[in-house]
Chains A and B, each alone.
Chain A
Amino acid sequence: MKLLKIAWRNLWRNRKRTLITIASVFFGVLWAVALSSLQTGSFDNMVDNMVSFTTGYAQIQNIDYKDNKSLNNGFIPDEELYNFLDNNEFISKYTSRLSTFSLIATGEKSYGTAVIGVNFENEDKISKLSQWIIQGSYSGDDPGGVLLGELLANKLEVNTGDTIILIGQGYHGVQVAGLFAVRGLLKFPISELNRQILYMDIGTAGDFFQVPGTVTSLILMVEKPGTLTALMKSLEQIDNPEFVYLRWEDLQPQLVQLIDGKTSSGKIFIIILFIIIAFGILGTFIMMIAERERELGIMIAIGMNRLWLSLILFLESLLIAATGVFFSFIFCIPLVNYFVRNPIKIGGEMGELYGEMGFEPVLIFSNEIHIFLNPAISIFIISIVIAIYPLISVIRLKAVNALRA
């Protein structure tokens, strides 16, 4: 159509100005994509680290466990449930845990500690628990061996090979006590954990607490965070009113808060960036219309409908946006994909700091579709909103005045 041709040619009447405006869109989109790619990538990675380390992406629990984390509110998974988990396409790994509290003692000292019954082999595949071993061995032949947090062991003055006593409450409050050999010590990057944690085999724990076969939660992992919603949907097929299915967001609200806080500061930055771009485009339009007043007057005089005339100006705005976004994508998409495949390694002190915190010292990028779509959509919305200015100018334009100018 002729209108598009006129719009396109109009853009190149002041080549330099148009190029500068397009460049501002180009850099704006580039910046926004880079920022949100890095942000999404590192948050996904952080979440992956955090949830692997702690809650998993999702959990199956007894419906009562959520409010009362007692052994009494565990459940015994049946063969059917395991089959379901084994065959679920979204689940990459899963494991079971039995969590409770107990008193841990040696001769004269005693402290409270968390006791977590795990399947050592499966647990390691998910939380890589073995990486924190600083003494002794992660797995062993003795089903009765336990792993202790380093600080807890220090307080109790025990080492690998020593024996500790656990005194706790089993099923329905029954008193239980037993002797366990310390197989190894763990040192986590979070000292709070080191102070009060004990791992033992989940079978041993079940027997000890008189809840054989019981788990308090099933920990589920997905390959890609994006498939979590699909997984949650598929869990509904289990159709057991006893169960509740929780996402990591439910299990770790602090993590959600942390990410939301960081994301919103990133968003504010991008919003400011786009406001600057918007004013740049608007400025271009104000100048363009001022320069073309006579010409617009002539078009109206010879019988061009004002709406069509506005459409030309609207198309000009859209074309600036589209050209900027187009070149930005040509540049960004391969770049982001390259960095997704080749994360940037952080060296030096910064890298060490990351390592100590238990994170990989790399900048991870993401290429999820929204990273590209959001800035593009924002730019198009901006260009549409800005087109209101020429629309109003054209509707208000008095052909006689424009012609006399």
Chain B
Amino acid sequence: MSIIKISNLTKVYDGSANEIVAVNNLNLEFEKGEFAAIVGPSGSGKTTLLNMIGGLDRPTSGEVNIDGQDIWRLSSRKLTDFRLKNIGFVFQSYNLIPVLTAGENTEFIMQLQGKPRNERSRRIKELLEAVGIADREKSRPNKLSGGQQQRVAVARALASKPTFILADEPTANLDSKSTETLLEIMELLNKTEDVTFIFSTHDARVVKKARRVITLVDGKVESDVSK
């Protein structure tokens, strides 16, 4: 059964001179447990698509159904709450709240969800161990490397036990070693936590790890290959 069903999704930006069709009448479905990459050249609409799935950018037309709910019919407040409960986010860089430590950044989202303290601290340990930086729990983001920061971001995204995680070019600013580590961690968590990962990239090494590769060109799906 699909957890995400995108129908006729279109996003048109009003440029001053011309209209830009960033996402063009797109139809896609994602199953539970997928590990899918969205690839394509810069400007092909990857970020726009992920933002519309993630409830951050309102589509010009079309639907994003998550667990049977058209999320763009929710009020802005309900949508925020929906994101908090169902979607984990990993952005390209500077994901973390600078004044909070690695542990606190992971905990933060659970506090927003109102999880009890003991559950939170257990989960922080578990997640930071899983992403391999348990020893840096008390460090603030500026004391962590780019790769470590992205791993905390993954831990934070998972902390809320979301249905799926959207990661927009999570490795774009990382060296190849960190990229590999992060991908391995994501792959592992995809299995152990049974969480769906949808990530965009234009890095060939990342694409290789994906079990499904969706290629976008000019806001349209050019190919959709599952291994």
Query: Which A residues are closer than 8 A to B by beta carbons?
Result: 2, 6, 9-10, 13, 294-295, 298-306, 308, 399-400, 403-404
Closest B residue to A402 by beta carbon equals B56
CA distance A399 to B160 in the complex (A): 20
Closest A residue to B168 by beta carbon equals A403
CA distance A299 to B77 in the complex (A): 14
B80–A400 CB distance below 8 A: no
Residues 179-218 of B, flagged 1 when their CB comes within 8 A of A and 0 if not, give 0000000000000000000000000000000000000000
Contact (A303, B56) CB under 8 Å given A13-B99, A295-B97, A298-B91: no
Contact (A9, B99) CB under 8 Å given A301-B56, A400-B57: yes
Within B149-175, the residues touching A (CB, 8 Å) are 156-157, 160
Chain A residues positioned under 8 Å from B160 (CB to CB):
303
Q: Which of A13, A303, A304, A305 contacts B98 (CB 8 A)?
A: A13
Task: For the complex formed, measure the closest distance between the CB of A341 and the CB atoms of chain B, giving whole angstroms.
Answer: 45
Contact (A298, B97) CB under 8 Å given A2-B108, A2-B111: yes
B94–A294 CB distance below 8 A: yes
CA distance A300 to B108 in the complex (A): 13
Task: Determine the main DSSP class of A at the interface with B.
Answer: helix
A400–B51 CB distance below 8 A: yes
Further contacts, 14 of them, CB under 8 A, given A6-B100, A302-B83, A303-B80:
A9-B100, A295-B94, A298-B91, A298-B95, A302-B84, A302-B157, A303-B84, A303-B109, A305-B77, A305-B80, A305-B112, A400-B51, A400-B57, A403-B51
B81 interfacial contact with A, CB 8 Å: yes
Closest B residue to A296 by beta carbon equals B97
Contact (A303, B85) CB under 8 Å given A2-B111, A403-B91: yes
B72 interfacial contact with A, CB 8 Å: no
The 7 closest A-B pairs by CB, nearest first: A303-B84, A9-B99, A303-B83, A400-B57, A400-B56, A399-B56, A302-B89
Closest B residue to A308 by beta carbon equals B112
CA distance A290 to B210 in the complex (A): 37
Task: For the complex formed, measure the closest distance between the CB of A335 and the CB atoms of chain B, giving whole angstroms.
Answer: 35
Task: For the complex formed, measure the closest distance between the CB of A305 and the CB atoms of chain B, giving whole angstroms.
Answer: 6
Q: Which of B85, B99, B104, B156 contacts A10 (CB 8 A)?
A: B99
CA distance A399 to B79 in the complex (A): 13
Chain B residues positioned under 8 Å from A294 (CB to CB):
94
B103 interfacial contact with A, CB 8 Å: no
Chain A residues positioned under 8 Å from B99 (CB to CB):
6, 9-10, 13
B10 interfacial contact with A, CB 8 Å: no
B47 interfacial contact with A, CB 8 Å: yes
B80–A299 CB distance below 8 A: no
Task: For the complex formed, measure the closest distance between the CB of B20 and the CB atoms of chain A, giving whole angstroms.
Answer: 14
Chain B contributes a number of interface residues (CB within 8 A of A) equal to 29
Residues 57-101 of B, flagged 1 when their CB comes within 8 A of A and 0 if not, give 100000000000000000001001101110111010011011110
Task: For the complex formed, measure the closest distance between the CB of B195 and the CB atoms of chain A, giving whole angstroms.
Answer: 15
B54 interfacial contact with A, CB 8 Å: yes
B57–A301 CB distance below 8 A: no
CA distance A305 to B97 in the complex (A): 15
CA distance A298 to B108 in the complex (A): 12
Contact (A302, B109) CB under 8 Å given A6-B97, A9-B99, A295-B98: yes
Chain A residues positioned under 8 Å from B84 (CB to CB):
302-304
Chain B residues positioned under 8 Å from A403 (CB to CB):
51, 56, 91
Chain B residues positioned under 8 Å from A304 (CB to CB):
80, 84, 112
A-B contact pairs, 20 of them (CB 8 A): A2-B104, A6-B97, A9-B100, A13-B99, A298-B89, A298-B97, A301-B83, A302-B88, A302-B112, A302-B157, A303-B83, A303-B84, A303-B85, A303-B87, A303-B109, A303-B112, A304-B84, A304-B112, A305-B112, A403-B51
CA distance A294 to B141 in the complex (A): 15
Q: Which of A13, A303, A306, A404 contacts B47 (CB 8 A)?
A: A404
CA distance A13 to B83 in the complex (A): 29
Chain A residues positioned under 8 Å from B112 (CB to CB):
302-305, 308
Chain B residues positioned under 8 Å from A300 (CB to CB):
80
CA distance A302 to B112 in the complex (A): 10
Chain A residues positioned under 8 Å from B87 (CB to CB):
303
Task: For the complex formed, measure the closest distance between the CB of A374 and the CB atoms of chain B, giving whole angstroms.
Answer: 34
CA distance A298 to B100 in the complex (A): 14
Task: For the complex formed, measure the closest distance between the CB of A307 and the CB atoms of chain B, giving whole angstroms.
Answer: 9
B98–A302 CB distance below 8 A: no
CA distance A6 to B108 in the complex (A): 10
Task: For the complex formed, measure the closest distance between the CB of A398 and the CB atoms of chain B, giving whole angstroms.
Answer: 9
Chain B residues positioned under 8 Å from A301 (CB to CB):
54, 56, 83, 89, 91
CA distance A302 to B97 in the complex (A): 11
Closest B residue to A302 by beta carbon equals B89
Task: For the complex formed, measure the closest distance between the CB of B162 and the CB atoms of chain A, giving whole angstroms.
Answer: 10
CA distance A302 to B100 in the complex (A): 15
Residues 102-134 of B, flagged 1 when their CB comes within 8 A of A and 0 if not, give 001000110110000000000000000000000
Q: Which of B56, B83, B95, B104 has the most CB of A within 10 A?
A: B56
Chain A residues positioned under 8 Å from B157 (CB to CB):
302
Chain B residues positioned under 8 Å from A308 (CB to CB):
112
Task: For the complex formed, measure the closest distance between the CB of B72 and the CB atoms of chain A, giving whole angstroms.
Answer: 14
Closest A residue to B77 by beta carbon equals A305
Chain A residues positioned under 8 Å from B111 (CB to CB):
2
Closest B residue to A399 by beta carbon equals B56
Chain B residues positioned under 8 Å from A302 (CB to CB):
83-84, 88-89, 109, 112, 156-157
